[in-house]
A and B are shown apart, each in its own frame.
Chain A
Amino acid sequence: MMNVEDLYRILRTSHVQAQGIVDTIPDPLLVLDESLRVQNASRSFFETFRVDRYETIGQQLFTLGNGQWDIPELRSLLQDVIPRSVAVVNFRVEHDFPSLGPRTMLLTARTLFHPDNAGHLLLLSIVDVTDQARRDVAKDMLFGELRHRMKNLLSVAHSMARLTPVEDRSAEEYREAFLGRFAALIAAQDIAFAEDSAGDLKTLTERVLAPFSGEGHGLVIEPGEPVELTPKSLTSLSLVFNELATNAAKYGALSAAGGRVSVSWRIEDGERLRITWAESGGPAVVSPDRKGYGSELIRTAISYTLHGQLGQEYASDGYRAEIAVPLVE
């Protein structure tokens, strides 16, 4: 498609000023004489500004369409700037057009000197970028939101590294513990912002618990009704599942052959999610280390973010946890 520069070149070299050429310009275009009278206009000018040829050609620009082009910035552009420079490119004008409402236009103007006499013409193209400008604002907001979310996520990872205990353990043990939690954080992010099935509890449990199911013991996720969770709730539950599974692999049912963990959930009264973690067939249940960071993390995740409750039972046949989370606040 032809732009103002191409047209300028054609008009300059071949001395023609054909309506056909003007009409090939996709954007609204005016050809103005020295007194800013409209000599010619492209078809898209008539279409965009809803005016017809007869009320346009021969008129002075600032009187066109009840003076809707009598814009101070445009006046100064054409009367002050253009005489002193050959071209003005993408000059931004915000204006409330009576027929169109508030619009943002980019004006490009170019002086065309007539080779046969001392006169000149002016090419003026007008591109409506209102929608583009609106999209830009929305995009800026989205980028701002993403930047904030990213910083927040890094900050959570930072806190996690700081909180994972270093006392009485090797660097390797620390790394394993940190990376397990970090993986749970990433899993929650992936699922929270997945394109399909975003925020799904089943997808989350499968993903977080997959590394823990192995030979000789079983980790079963019972079929449950679909539950969609917010990104924050997902993150908290993801970390909780990681802690429960890590404990089970260290001391519980997943630490011995024949052990079994069953994960299930149901929705009670349409307003409460109840998740059950039930271990069986493992070694004798040992007294819990209630002060450990892992259990503090589980308790805080459930109370602070999920506003939920944790019930724990150290039954002789296996550890059992019940997590009740309100679905409506």
Chain B
Amino acid sequence: MQRTVLIVEDEFLIAMHLQRLLEEHGWRVIGPVATVRAALRLLEEKLPDVALLDVNLGREMVTPVAEALRARSVPFAIASAYERPERFAGEVLAGAVNVGKPAVERRLLAALRQLIDREPVG
């Protein structure tokens, strides 16, 4: 089955790039969306298998999305320019894999793959 990934990223070019990259590698992309509100709305509809989150969305931090994902046991990776995103956006981001910005493509694909493999079967 095709796996789904939610992308939250406020820069449209980066969002387009991530979407294309992940689609080329067999993912079905949910979004991308640029705001916390839009992301939370998508989560109400259907949960993705994993999520890829930018941290600083310009006017807001991605924190509420990370918290919602955590509460629903959806694993996520971070693509942020911050070296330690939890210092800016809360403890919920501590421990999540940060694939960096610009994201190293191989690292990004491996990180998402790993999040899925870690999931309990069933």
**Residues of A that sit less than 8 Å from B by CB:** 147-148, 151-152, 154-156, 158-160, 162-163, 232, 236, 239, 296-297, 300-301, 304-305
Contact = CB atoms under 8 A, between A and B. Distances in A.
B67 to A, nearest CB: 22
Contact of B15 (A147, A158, A239, A304): A304
B81 interface: yes
Interface of B: 10-18, 20-21, 32, 34, 56, 58, 81-82, 101-103
A281 B97 CA distance: 55
A160 B20 CA distance: 12
Contacts of B16: 159, 163, 296-297, 300
A316 B113 CA distance: 50
A163 B17 contact: yes
Contact of B102 (A148, A158, A163, A232): A158
A297 B82 CA distance: 27
Contact of A305 (B34, B81, B102): B34
B17 A151 contact: no
A159 B13 contact: yes
Contact of B58 (A151, A160, A232, A236): A232
Nearest to B103: A155
Contacts of B103: 155
9 contacts: A148-B82, A158-B17, A159-B13, A159-B16, A160-B13, A163-B16, A232-B10, A232-B58, A304-B34
Contacts of B58: 232
Q: Which of B12, B15, B17, B32 has the most CB of A within 10 A?
A: B12
B34 A148 contact: no
B81 A159 contact: no
Contacts of A151: 81, 101
A160 B18 CA distance: 11
A300 B33 CA distance: 11
Given A159-B14, A162-B17, A163-B17, 6 more contacts: A147-B81, A151-B81, A152-B101, A159-B102, A297-B13, A300-B16
Given A162-B17, A163-B17, A300-B16, A156 B56 contact: no
